[in-house]
Amino acid sequence: MALRIRRSFNVGTVAIAVAAVTVLLSLPPAVAQEIPDSFRAAIPRTPEGRPDLSGIWQSFTTANWNILAHSSEAGPYSEVLGAWAAARGGLGIVEGNEIPYQPWAAEKQRENFANRTVVKVANDPSRFDTGDPEMQCFRAGVPRANYMPFPFQIIQTPEEVFIVYEYKGAYREIFMDSDSESPGYTWMGWSNGRWDGDTLVVDVSGFNGYTWFDRAGNFHSDALHVVERWTPLSPYHMHYEATIEDPNVFTRPWKMSFTLYKNVDPSAQLVEFNCVPFVEQLMYGPLGLMGDD
């Protein structure tokens, strides 16, 4: 079922939104948060005085292809798909453009990239010689779900913050002012949140270790620990930062960051993207489990 947002919308709103976009695009990345005070003053707030992050948001990076800087390049099966499979170039979202892999993990990332389109067993994410979990319609995990080319919706209450993702209908429940522990290991992890001024800080752990950061094979283990910082810049822009820690894979913590944009169209809504039917033939066809119907 689609989730719909209805908000008042007028010429003044459009003018402010256009001005905000113009200013942000004119700033170099290092100072993108140094926006006019008037934009910060216009950030909507809840009755409790917290920033109201509710709405439909989306990133416009190419990080789902590769979180590091990369040039445009041909994609898999380009002899059949041509430009459809090609990847846009991107500046990357990783601080310093370096992922501090342990030596064995750097080699594993290269193997992942080489095997990114391989599917050897039906619906079994525990196989370490298969390709990108996204290709098989597994949930994206955190932080990847936030920079996939799909929007997501934030629904905010004083006690909890919910995030519903268009991709596969995945969702997260962020427990505010809580230090509860994950009851198990999941694709999207377990999220505890708190406010640091106007920044929503979310501590995420309890991952199953099967997700990748991108289609380039960058990966982690089930020891992954992510600390997210969601900071509104204006009514229409939000700075997202994630600190990544995994002592099983990396030599030190590292960060990624990018800008999220709010959809201000009055008819904005999430639409269903249930990718399961799109991968059934891929996963079950070789086993003879799919009929001709």
Q: What is the mean pLDDT of residues 229-254?
A: 97
Domain coordinates in residue numbering, the chain: 11-287
Compute CA 45 distance to the chain's CA centroid, rounded to the nearest angstrom.
24
pLDDT at 281: 85
Tens of pLDDT, residue by residue over 59-105, are: 999 999 999 999 999 988 889 999 998 999 999 999 999 999 999 99
The encoded tokens of residue 188 equal 């999207």
Across the range 212-231, mean pLDDT stands at 97
The pTM for the full model equals: 0.85
Cα 150 from Cα 142, distance rounded (Å): 14
pLDDT reported for residue 218:
98
223 pLDDT higher than 50:
yes
The pLDDT score that the predictor gives to residue 31 is 42
pLDDT at residue 268 tops 90:
yes
Mean pLDDT of 252-272: 97
CB neighbourhood size of 240 (10 A): 19
For the cut 80, the answer to whether the pLDDT of residue 142 exceeds it is: yes
Question: How far, in Å, CA of 36 to CA of 120, rounded?
Answer: 53
Whether pLDDT at 11 is above 60 = no
pLDDT value of residue 291: 56
- Residue 38, pLDDT > 90, answer no
Determine the pLDDT at residue 10. 43
pLDDT class for 34, splitting at 50, 70, 90?
low
Q: Residue 116: which pLDDT band, with cuts at 50, 70 and 90?
A: very high
Q: What is the 3-state secondary structure (H, E, C) of the chain?
A: CCCECCCCCCHHHHHHHHHHHHHHHHCCHHHCCCCCHHHHHCCCECCCCCECCCEEEEECCCCCCCCCCECCECCCCHHHHHHHHCECCECCCEHHHCCCECHHHHHHHHHHHHCCCCCCCCCCCCCCCCCCHHHHCCCCCCCHHHCCCCCEEEEECCCEEEEEECECCCEEEEEECCCCCCCCCECCCEEEEEEECCEEEEEEECECCCCECCCCCCECCCCCEEEEEEEEEECCEEEEEEEEECCCCECCCEEEEEEEEECCCCCCECCCECCHHHHHHHHHHHHCCCCCC
pLDDT digits (tens, 9 = 90+) for 161-184: 999 999 999 999 999 988 999 999
